[in-house]
Amino acid sequence: MIQPATKAEPHAEESVREVSYEYSNNLTGILKHLNISLFFSTYQAGKLGVLTVKNNSLNISFHNFERAMGMAISPTQMAVGGKDWVYFLKNDSNLAPQIEPPGTYNACFLTRSAQYTGDISIHDLAWGGQELWMVNTRFSCLCTLSNNYNFLPQWRPSFVSAIAPEDRCHLNGLAMVNGMPKYVTVLGQTDTAGGWRENKASGGCILEVPSSKVITSGLSMPHSPRVYRNVLWVLNSGRGEIAAVDLASGKQEKIASLPGYI
């Protein structure tokens, strides 16, 4: 559960944005079987959504975070990347069981602080221990937070010659292994402002960190690499595919196709 936004008064209705959604008939059964909640963000509406199952029915709640993008969740805390800020939510495990009806919730994430980053176009976020790693798309780098600066650059692809606010390769996705960044997705191996746009249909690839070695290429706007059970998974978004990548050969295996941008 997340602390809900205040309901708008009638005179403020012009500031309320309608959110429309559809979902598959079997989604409720899947969430109930796995005993999980599902968090998602939509930056167009500036919402963080939470799907839960209550009384065998799907419950959807929306919470306001300006241009909500990447999220990183652990049992004790959560981070949400926004337009100019990273928001930090703490899990109050003592409060959760008391929320009506009692015993319904086992976690309650409450926004407790935020850190200003400026508009760096945050995409993926990931916890590495207690340190938050951020995909800084605008500056084409991976970075962490600092009390003295908007962000601290930690790594950039070897073909990117400088840290500059030019979105040179559209670095967007991050996969962690053993608590450290291991693989990233880029939409193009380019070093000019917005250069990836010229070949976004097939210029995407996955890079190894820190070597910048190309693991696989020819992807169409790849997103969200993840390592699970020693397999590298990725969304080949422009082709509507979920793919698995062999780390030794770079061979891509299409796992599923979906009717849209993934």
> In the prediction, which pLDDT does 54 show?
85
> In the prediction, which pLDDT does 2 show?
46
> In the prediction, which pLDDT does 5 show?
43
> In the prediction, which pLDDT does 136 show?
98
Copy the structure tokens of residue 114. Answer: 């935020």
Q: Is 149 exposed, middle or buried (0-12, 13-18, 19+ CB in 10 A)?
A: exposed
pTM of the predicted model as reported, rounded to 2 decimal places: 0.88
Identify which of 135, 128, 202 has the alpha carbon closest to the alpha carbon of residue 167.
135
**Residue 207, H or E segment:** strand 204-208
> In the prediction, which pLDDT does 104 show?
81
The CA-CA-CA angle for residues 113, 117, 122, to 5°, reads 100
3-state secondary structure 117-147: CCCCCEEEEEEECCEEEEEECCCCEEEECCC
Name the strands in the sheet holding 214-219, side by side, starting at the edge strand that comes first in the sequence. Answer: 173-177, 180-186, 204-208, 214-219
Which tens digits make up the pLDDT trace of 45-57?
899 999 999 888 9
pLDDT lower than 70: segments of the chain: 1-15, 17
> In the prediction, which pLDDT does 9 show?
45
Q: List alpha helices for the chain, DSSP H.
A: 27-34
